[in-house]
């Protein structure tokens, strides 16, 4: 065990770190992806230090050039080969190699506690924008399929049992609105992430009167934190982003689940394009919807990450604790996975082939039972009685082995004299979807209004 020359805090230690601690403590493999944010934070800090007289103009220029050189090294993969404790230590070491002892002035009035909080917030804001873009693209793909399926009718399901006919567009748009809410939540999370912790020091504020408002403006934050203890120990922004991402993941999973069912031989409503499926090593005929299953499976892991992050936070004393480092990987993985899932689902949705004949074949007459009851209501029957009568008709039809509209008129009239006439006016599934003209319903005009509203919200 030799003392690590790269360490930022060796002075008060006589003995080197035990390798078993080092193994858990070293966060570079996870946080090296913060290098862009760390360089940006350093650059802003250099300017702030010059403004308070810690650095001369010449020193600032030298450090800025040095940071450019460090950024170029990191761009070329320097962080992959390094074995420093974390990204902050690495950047400072590389800077020292470029500019010499002057690099030692960089960390004046600052701590890795306010630095990592700043880097993480910057990263989160960017990741949110990336995920928002991926969800928007998926929304547009669903809207496009919805437009294509405006006149295609299919069953809707409750309890996975045939319920009532709907337009395919209505089903597709049912998966767009959750994405709209996800995007609203992400925007909200981005707004709360946009608060600058830098200048909070380790916990009690910076020893130098840096212009924090100027730092915020320079780094793209909307505000500065009001309390240094809170600023270094707060990870609400990360948890909110992970919550929004796991909820989006849950929506992707429900879309995937619908498509697993609808693409099965039993339903056959859609075909998933080959590039999004895989074969079986044993059964030569198989074509499996792995893309959908992976999105569904991954979303469970996102939820687990969210719970893990909150569990890590709940017992922490105020201020920075090393436990917080464990949450960083969860933040990165969750945002990455939600993005990858949305991108994959966009490909799946774009590649879907609708099978309108199979959907039509799944529309049985019983799915119009509610419409029949509604017709009796229009004739003056209280709904409860109408419901009972149509129920009796369904039972009779089942006993006769016939669909409800084929029950002989005399049999229907025996149940209630108004039934044969109502059956005569019942019409087909198209008539049923057109009866639902109220906003949010299945009539063509209502669905068109819905599609236009969604398209405006998801415009590129």
7 vs 69, which CB is nearer to ligand ARG?
A: 7
Closest approach, Cβ 177 to ligand ARG, in A, equals 37
Q: Take residue 122 and report the two structure tokens written for it.
A: 């910057």
119 vs 182, which CB is nearer to ligand ARG?
A: 119
Q: Take residue 42 and report the two structure tokens written for it.
A: 């350093």
- Say if residues 243 and 328 touch (Cβ distance below 8 Å): no
Closest approach, Cβ 202 to ligand ARG, in A, equals 7
Closest approach, Cβ 68 to ligand ARG, in A, equals 24
Closest approach, Cβ 331 to ligand ARG, in A, equals 11
202 vs 294, which CB is nearer to ligand ARG?
A: 202
- Say if residues 276 and 343 touch (Cβ distance below 8 Å): no
> Element (H or E) spanning 71, and its range?
helix 57-75
Closest approach, Cβ 184 to ligand ARG, in A, equals 30
Helix axes 177-193, 112-148, angle to 10 degrees: 160
12 vs 159, which CB is nearer to ligand ARG?
A: 12
Closest approach, Cβ 112 to ligand ARG, in A, equals 4
d(C-alpha 293, C-alpha 299), whole Å: 10
112 vs 183, which CB is nearer to ligand ARG?
A: 112
- Phi-psi sector, 100: left (phi>0), alpha (psi -120 to 50), beta: left
62 vs 325, which CB is nearer to ligand ARG?
A: 325
**β-bridge partners, 270:** 354
Contacts of 244 (CB under 8 A, 6+ apart): 128, 182, 185, 186, 188, 189
277 vs 325, which CB is nearer to ligand ARG?
A: 325
280 is catalytic: yes
Closest approach, Cβ 62 to ligand ARG, in A, equals 26
Task: Please report, as ranges, the residues that interact with ligand ARG according to CB under 6 A.
Answer: 27, 31, 86, 112-113, 116, 320, 324-325, 328
Q: 420: which DSSP letter?
A: H
**β-bridge partners, 354:** 270
**Active-site residue identified among 159, 170, 200, 318:** 159
**Active-site residue identified among 209, 264, 280, 318:** 280
d(C-alpha 147, C-alpha 144), whole Å: 5
> What b/e sequence results for 126-142 when a residue is b if at least 16 CB atoms lie within 10 Å of its CB, and e otherwise?
bbbebbbebbbbbbbbb
Q: Which is nearest to 178 in space by CA: 254, 239, 127? A: 254
107 is catalytic: no
Distances 369 to 319, 391, 415 between C-alpha atoms, Å? 62, 8, 15
Q: 278: which DSSP letter?
A: B
Catalytic residues: 159, 280
């Amino acid at each position: 065990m030799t003392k690590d020359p790269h360490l930022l805090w060796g002075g008060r230690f006589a003995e080197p770190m035990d390798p078993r601690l080092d193994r858990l403590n070293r966060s570079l493999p996870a946080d090296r992806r913060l290098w862009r944010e760390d360089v940006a934070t350093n650059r802003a800090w250099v300017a702030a230090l010059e403004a308070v007289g810690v650095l001369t103009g010449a020193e600032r220029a030298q450090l800025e050039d040095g940071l450019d050189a460090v950024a170029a090294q990191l761009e070329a993969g320097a962080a992959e080969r390094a074995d420093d404790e974390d990204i902050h230590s690495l950047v400072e070491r590389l800077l020292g190699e470029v500019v010499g002892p002057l690099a030692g002035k960089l960390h004046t009035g600052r701590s890795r506690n306010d630095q990592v909080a700043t880097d993480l917030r910057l990263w989160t804001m960017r990741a949110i924008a990336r995920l928002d873009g991926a969800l928007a693209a998926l929304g547009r793909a669903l809207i496009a399929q919805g437009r294509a399926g405006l006149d295609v009718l299919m069953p809707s399901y409750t309890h996975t049992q045939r319920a009532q006919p709907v337009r395919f567009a209505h089903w597709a748009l049912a998966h767009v609105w959750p994405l709209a809410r996800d995007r609203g939540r992400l925007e909200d999370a981005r707004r709360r992430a946009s608060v600058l912790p830098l200048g909070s020091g380790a916990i009690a504020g910076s020893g130098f009167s840096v212009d924090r408002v100027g730092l915020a403006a320079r780094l793209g934050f909307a505000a500065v934190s009001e309390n240094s203890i809170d600023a270094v120990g707060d990870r609400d922004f990360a948890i909110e982003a992970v919550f929004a991402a796991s909820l989006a993941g849950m929506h992707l999973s429900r879309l995937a689940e619908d498509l697993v069912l609808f693409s099965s031989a039993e339903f056959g409503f859609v075909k998933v394009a080959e590039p999004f499926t895989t074969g079986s090593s044993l059964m030569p005929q198989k074509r499996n919807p792995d893309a959908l299953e992976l999105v569904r499976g991954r979303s469970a892991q996102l939820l687990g990450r969210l719970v893990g992050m909150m569990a890590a936070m709940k017992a922490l004393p105020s201020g920075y604790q090393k436990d917080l480092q464990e949450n960083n990987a969860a933040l990165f993985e969750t945002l990455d996975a939600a993005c990858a899932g949305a991108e994959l689902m966009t490909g799946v949705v774009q590649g879907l082939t609708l099978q309108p004949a199979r959907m039509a074949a799944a529309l049985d007459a019983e799915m119009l039972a509610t419409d029949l009851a509604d017709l009796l209501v229009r004739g003056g029957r209280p709904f409860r009685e109408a419901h009972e009568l149509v129920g009796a008709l369904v039972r009779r039809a089942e006993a006769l082995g016939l669909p409800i509209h084929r029950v002989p008129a005399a049999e229907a009239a025996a149940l209630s004299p108004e039934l044969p006439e109502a059956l005569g006016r019942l019409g087909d599934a198209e008539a049923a979807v057109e009866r639902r003209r109220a906003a949010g319903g299945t009539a063509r005009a209502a669905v068109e209004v819905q599609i236009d509203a969604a398209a405006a919200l998801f415009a590129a």
